[in-house]
A = this chain, B = another copy of it.
Amino acid sequence: MSGMADSARKQRLAQFLDDVWGAGDVSAVPRYVAERYTIHNDPGDPWDGQTLTRDGFRARLVASRAVAPDQRFEPVRMVEQGDTVAVAWRWRGTHTGAAPGLPQPTGRVLTMTGATFYDFDADDQLTGHWQIADRLGVYRQMTE
């Protein structure tokens, strides 16, 4: 893999994906997320285009994780330049929760790949992202 977690910010990002998105620890949000967090591009995400407070980020976290509470993100590539780390990832989770616009829970183990450009500020807090996930692939796993 190219440049996996070989810098402080990459390590921090990997930890954020584990603690916040993996474990779902809402109390960890202020450790990683700046007071304003902008979602620049994230097709299908109900918060696409919005700038969130930390309370808003926590609300998005709780709602998004409800579909597959045992979810885990595994970084497969990380590329860092300036204040941005681009991460290619694999996601896995068991489909046990309901959410608006999604099929009823299937109990299936779902997998998905995606890529996210994360922006940091001078205090190494995350200020936002630009993201694409393979929504079509995961919808098919829920419905076929």
Distance to closest chain B CB from A144 (angstroms): 14
Given contacts A43-B134, A113-B132, A136-B139, contact A81 B80 (CB under 8 A): yes
Indicate which residue in B79, B85, B116, B137 contacts A80 across the interface (CB closer than 8 Å): B79
Answer yes or no: A47 CB below 8 A from chain B CBs.
no
Answer yes or no: A49 CB below 8 A from chain B CBs.
no
A41 CB contacts on chain B under 8 angstroms: 76, 88, 113
**Is B3 a contact partner of A82 (Cβ separation < 8 A)?**
yes
A77 CB contacts on chain B under 8 angstroms: 84, 86, 117, 130
Answer yes or no: A27 CB below 8 A from chain B CBs.
no
A100 CB contacts on chain B under 8 angstroms: none
Given contacts A86-B115, A136-B44, contact A130 B80 (CB under 8 A): no
Query: Contact flags (1/0) for A101-144 with B, using CB distance below 8 Å?
Result: 00000000000011111010000000000111111110100000
A80 CB contacts on chain B under 8 angstroms: 79, 81
Q: In the bound complex, what is the Cα–Cα distance between A115 and B117 (angstroms)?
A: 9
**Is B135 a contact partner of A82 (Cβ separation < 8 A)?**
no
Given contacts A113-B132, A132-B114, A134-B135, contact A81 B84 (CB under 8 A): no
**Is A82 a contact partner of B43 (Cβ separation < 8 A)?**
no
Given contacts A44-B137, A130-B76, A134-B43, contact A117 B82 (CB under 8 A): no
